Chains A and B, each alone.
Chain A
Amino acid sequence: QQQVKQSPQSLIVQKGGISIINCAYENTAFDYFPWYQQFPGKGPALLIAIRPDVSEKKEGRFTISFNKSAKQFSLHIMDSQPGDSATYFCAARWGAQKLVFGQGTRLTINP
């Protein structure tokens, strides 16, 4: 049950478009859902996070939508830019501060 399933594995979006990455989980004990952004050769960096008592959180061009009943959450990147090209990981917290990560989505924004 300690799994987070992420899709798609890769995504190509035109500049200015909306990028959408989806994640699903089973364990209702998860209580914190961050998204991380990773550039090649770098460690992941926290992008945005949400608690399950909130249905949406927006920070700039990045929005998390959270559906507690469906046990799904998604990242939306509005007005996608070439600089957003990176690998994105969703994650869920369990057991103190341990995180379980999705498999990652490689996002490419075409200019």
Chain B
Amino acid sequence: GAGVSQSPSNKVTEKGKDVELRCDPISGHTALYWYRQSLGQGLEFLIYFQGNSAPDKSGLPSDRFSAERTGGSVSTLTIQRTQQEDSAVYLCASSSPLAPGQFSYEQYFGPGTRLTVT
């Protein structure tokens, strides 16, 4: 079946411009996550959506970053007034509801959007 998809795959933008990154999770997955992966670094948690609950925004690095999830499916990560330090790969992941006996949700990752701020 179809996995997590993200668009665009690459985005080059000028410093100060706003960008929107899109994530299409796996159908039926109720949880959606955004991470940032800087060059040679691990993944940094940004935000987490679970069903209709209020999102966990504790990882957003500044108020220039925001995300929404419409209809419990597609999510958009918006970065306003981009800075050069925002250059990174932005990864989206989704996970399904917990099955009986399952201890933890497996997060399925998309291929990421490589953002370059010039």
Given contacts A44-B43, A103-B42, contact A97 B111 (CB under 8 A): no
How many A residues are at the interface, by size bracket? Answer: 20 to 34
Residue-wise interface mask of A (68-111) relative to B, using a CB-CB cutoff of 8 A (1 in contact, 0 not):
00000000000000000000010101011111111110000000
Residue-wise interface mask of B (91-118) relative to A, using a CB-CB cutoff of 8 A (1 in contact, 0 not):
1010100000001111111111000000
Contact of A41 among B44, B105, B107, B111 (CB under 8 A): B111
The answer to whether A60 has its CB under 8 Å from any CB of chain B is no
A98 to B93, Cβ gap below 8 A? no
B42 to A97, Cβ gap below 8 A? no
The answer to whether A57 has its CB under 8 Å from any CB of chain B is no
B69 to chain A: closest CB distance in Å? 15
Given contacts A42-B111, A96-B50, A98-B48, contact A32 B104 (CB under 8 A): yes
Contact of B56 among A42, A51, A93, A96 (CB under 8 A): A96
Give the total number of A-B pairs whose CB atoms are below 8 A apart: 60
B42 to A43, Cβ gap below 8 A? no
A-side contacts of B109, CB under 8 Å? 36, 43-45
B112 to A43, Cβ gap below 8 A? yes
- Tell me which residues from 67 to 104 in chain B have a Cβ below 8 Å from any Cβ of chain A: 91, 93, 95, 103-104
Contact of A51 among B33, B42, B103, B112 (CB under 8 A): B103
Interface size on B, residues (CB 8 A): 27
Q: For the complex, what is the distance from the CA of A97 to the CA of B107, rounded to whole Å?
A: 9
Interface pairs (11), CB distance under 8 Å: A44-B109, A45-B109, A96-B56, A97-B33, A97-B95, A97-B105, A97-B107, A99-B43, A99-B107, A101-B35, A101-B43
User: Which 7 A-B residue pairs are closest in the complex by CB-CB distance?
Assistant: A43-B109, A101-B42, A101-B43, A103-B42, A32-B104, A44-B109, A46-B106
Residues of A participating in the B interface, judged by any CB pair closer than 8 Å: 4, 6, 32, 34, 36, 41-46, 49, 51, 89, 91, 93, 95-104
Known: A4-B42, A41-B111, A44-B43; 5 extra A-B contacts, CB below 8 A, are A6-B42, A32-B103, A43-B110, A45-B109, A101-B43
